[in-house]
Amino acid sequence: MCPRVIEKPGTARGPRPNLEDWARARADFRWESAKSQLDGLPAGRGLNIAHEAVDRHVLGGRGARIALRWLPKRGNRVDLSYADLMRRTNRFANALGQLDVREGDRVFALLGRTPELYVAALGALKHRAVFCPMFSAFGPEPVRQRMELGEARVLVTTAALYEKKVAHLRDSLPRLEHVLVVGEPAPAGTLSFRELTDRASPEYCIEPTSAEAPALLHFTSGTTGKPKGALHVHQAVLMHHMTGKLALDLHAEDLFWCTADPGWVTGTSYGIIAPLTNGATMLVDEAEFDAERWYRTLQDQKVTVWYTAPTAIRMLMKAGNELPKHFDLSRVRFAASVGEPLNPEAVIWGADTLGLPFHDNWWQTETGGIMIANYASMPIRPGSMGRPLPGIEAAVVRRTAGGVELIETPDEQGELALATGWPSMFRAYLNAPDRYAQCFVDGWYLSGDLVKKDADGYFWFVGRADDVIKTAGHLIGPFEVESVLVEHPAVAEAGVIGKPDPVAGELIKAFVALRPGFAWSDDLCSEILAHARRRLGPAVSPKEIAVTSDLPKTKSGKIMRRLLKARELGLPEGDLSTLEGGEQ
Ligand code: ATP
Ligand code: MG
C-alpha cells in the first residue's frame, strides 16, 4: 500500500526550486510579466520559437554551452553547442528559402532521433514554415495520411525510410514537392540534405514573426480513435518555457533527458523547445527503450532532470529491482512522467529505486504544454496529477443542455475543463472546424478526460470519458482498478474495460501482463481477484481477468482500451495507425 503523501519530494538534491510556493506563484502570476522572460525578435519583429530556443543564447554570449548531446545507437556521443545549432539551423532555413519554401508551408520529418531532426525542426521554425514531425516507425499508410491531410510540401527523411515508406506514394501526394534525404546517396526524385545545407549560408535573419503565426502541427496519439491534427502557434513557446521552468524545474545547468520521440507532442514541446529556451543541455538517445541502457545513460551522462512516461516506468519496474542497484543514479534530482495515469505504485517505486518519486503531470496534444503538475516543492499525493500551473484555470465540470456547470463539491467526478486563452492552446484541428468548435463551451476547453478535485485542489485522473465503465449504477474509471491490480506482486501491467452484461449494465474485465517469474494459474487468478475485491469492494472490482503477454499500446506507449474492448466483443478494431508493433 502506498503512503498518502510524500513531503518536499524534489528539493533534497537540487538547487532551490524555481517554484517555491505554489499558492503564492499562482496568486502573483501575470501573463504580461511571464512574457518578459522571453526575448522577442530583435527590433520588435515579433516572437519566434527558434529564436527563443537557440539564437537568443548565442546573442547573449552563451553560444559555447552544449545545447544537444546526442547518443547514437552505437558509437560515441556527439555534442552540439548553441552556436553550432544556430549555424546548422540557419543553413537549413536558408536551404528552405532556396527551395522557395514560404511562410506557412508545411515541412514534415520522418526521421529517427538524429541531430538532423532537431536541425530541421528549428530551421523550419526560423523560416516560419509549419513543422510536423512523424514517428519514424509509422507504416506507409499513416505517413501518407498525415502528409495528405497536412498538405506537406517538404519532407525530410532518410534514404531507407524513403524507399520503404514514401517512394511508392509520391504519385498520391501531388503537393509534396521536395524530399530532402539525410545520408548518401540520395535516391532518384530526392535531394541531398547535406549538399543543400553545406551550400547554404550559416547566416540567417529571421523575418518578422507574428506570435499567432502557425508553427507546429502535431497528431494526437490515436488512443481513442483516428488521430487528429492539432495546430499550434509561435506563442506556444511562452508555455513551453514557463512550464519547463516551473513544472520540470529546469535550470540552465541541467542535463535534461526527455525520453519521448518528437513524433509526439511531448518530444517536441519538452524534447526540443523547453530545455533549449531554458538554456539547458538536452540529451537525445537515438536507441529505443532498453532498461540497462537507460540506467547506464542516467548514470554516465549525469542526467539531472528526467521526463518519461508511465509505460517506460512500468517496463523498468518489470526489469526488476536488482538492475538499478548496479548504477549510480544519484545525479537525477527531479523525475517526471506524462502521457497516461501514473499508478501510485510507480511513484513509490521511483522513490525506492532512484531515491526520488516520479512527479506526474497532465496535458494533451491540444493543450501544447503542461497544465497540471506535481512540483519539486509541493508534497506529492501518489496517484494525483497535481495542481494547475500558474496562469491556468482548471475546473471539474458537467455538460448540460445549455453549456457547462462547475462542480464545486470536492471529490465529485466530472470532466476536466480549462479556461481558454493560454498561449499554447491549439488553434485548429486540421480540416475539422466543427470538431474544434465542439471542444469549447462557455469559455472552457473540454478535455474529454474525467477527473476529481480534492479539497486541497489536487486533481485525480479517473479515466477518459470513452473508457469509463458503468456497472450496477456506479461510474468507474479504469485507472483506479488498474492501480489496485498492479499493486499485486505478480502484475506488471493492467488494462480494464467494461463488458456488456444484462444485469449490471457492464461488468469489469481486466487484462493483465505478469512480471517475470510468475506463471498464470487458476490459483493466481483467484488471488488477484481476491486482492482487488479486498481493496476495491465487490461492486467495483473486476469479475473476470485474462492474462496477456503484452497489452495493446499506441506507439507513444498508451494502453489502447478501445482495442481490448473491440477484440473482446468481436467489434471492428478501428484506426490502428498508431498501434505499437503494427506495420514498421
Ligand atoms: P487521441 O486523442 O488520438 O485519442 P491521446 O488523447 O492519447 O490520443 P495525447 O494528446 O497524446 O493523445 O494524450 C493526451 C491524453 O493522455 C490525455 O487526454 C489523457 O487522457 C492522457 N494523459 C496524459 N497525461 C496524463 C496523466 N498524467 N494522467 C492521466 N492521463 C494522462
Ligand atoms: Mg486525446
SS (H, E, C) 375-395: CCCCCECCCEEEEECCCCCEE
Q: What is the pTM of this model?
A: 0.95
Higher pLDDT, 203 or 352: 203
209 DSSP 8-state letter: B
Q: What percent of the chain has pLDDT over 70?
A: 98
Determine whether the shortest distance from the Cβ of 577 to ligand 1 is under 6 A: no
Contact in structure between 66 and 79 (CB atoms under 8 Å): yes
pLDDT at 583 over 70: no
- Which atom of ligand 1 lies closest to the CA of 558? 7
Find where cell 530551421 sits: 123
Name the pLDDT band for 537 (thresholds 50, 70, 90). confident
Please, what's the largest Cα pairwise distance for the chain?
A: 72
Rounded Cα distance between 140 and 582, Å, is 11
pLDDT at 253 over 50: yes
CA of 262 to the centre of ligand 1 (A): 16
Of 5-19, 267-281, 449-463, give the lowest mean pLDDT range. 5-19
Higher pLDDT, 5 or 89: 89
Ligand (nearest to CA of 467): 1
pLDDT at 3 over 70: no
82 DSSP 8-state letter: H
Mean pLDDT in residue range 263-271: 96
Return the pLDDT at 361.
98
Name the pLDDT band for 11 (thresholds 50, 70, 90). low
Mean pLDDT in residue range 144-166: 96
CA of 453 to the centre of ligand 1 (A): 18
Determine whether the shortest distance from the Cβ of 461 to ligand 1 is under 6 A: yes
Q: What is the pLDDT of residues 544-575, one digit of tens each?
A: 999 999 899 998 889 999 999 999 999 999 99
Mean pLDDT in residue range 310-329: 93
Q: How far apart are the first and last CA of the chain?
A: 40
Determine whether the shortest distance from the Cβ of 471 to ligand 1 is under 6 A: no
Q: Cα dihedral sign for 23, 27, 28, 29? A: positive
Determine whether the shortest distance from the Cβ of 339 to ligand 1 is under 6 A: yes
Cell digits of residue 501: 452484461
Determine whether the shortest distance from the Cβ of 386 to ligand 1 is under 6 A: no
Note the CATH number of domain 22-453.
3.40.50.12780
Mean pLDDT in residue range 206-231: 95
**Average model confidence (pLDDT) for the chain?**
95
- Which atom of ligand 1 lies closest to the CA of 361? 27
Rounded Cα distance between 513 and 521, Å, is 13
Rounded Cα distance between 338 and 307, Å, is 8
Rounded Cα distance between 76 and 547, Å, is 41
Determine whether the shortest distance from the Cβ of 385 to ligand 1 is under 6 A: yes
Mean pLDDT in residue range 455-471: 93
Rounded Cα distance between 160 and 228, Å, is 27
Q: Cα dihedral sign for 32, 34, 39, 40? A: negative
Prior bond of 185 cis (ω within 30°)? yes
Element (H, E) at 491: strand 491-501
Instruction: Name the residues around ion ligand 2, CB cutoff 5 A.
Output: 220
Name the pLDDT band for 226 (thresholds 50, 70, 90). confident
pLDDT at 323 over 80: yes
Of 121-125, 238-242, 247-251, 352-356, give the lowest mean pLDDT range. 352-356
Determine whether the shortest distance from the Cβ of 449 to ligand 1 is under 6 A: yes
Mean pLDDT in residue range 328-339: 96
CA of 535 to the centre of ligand 2 (A): 30
Q: What is the pLDDT of residues 187-215, one digit of tens each?
A: 999 999 999 999 999 999 999 999 999 99
- Which atom of ligand 1 lies closest to the CA of 337? 27
Contact in structure between 175 and 152 (CB atoms under 8 Å): yes
Query: Residues of CATH 3.30.300.30 domain(s) within the chain?
Result: 467-551
Query: Residues of CATH 3.40.50.12780 domain(s) within the chain?
Result: 22-453
Return the pLDDT at 539.
82
Mean pLDDT in residue range 438-449: 97
Determine whether the shortest distance from the Cβ of 360 to ligand 1 is under 6 A: yes
The architecture that CATH gives domain 467-551 is 2-Layer Sandwich (3.30)
Return the pLDDT at 584.
45
Determine whether the shortest distance from the Cβ of 362 to ligand 1 is under 6 A: yes
Q: What is the pLDDT of residues 430-440, one digit of tens each?
A: 999 999 999 99
Rounded Cα distance between 549 and 304, Å, is 34
CA of 520 to the centre of ligand 2 (A): 34
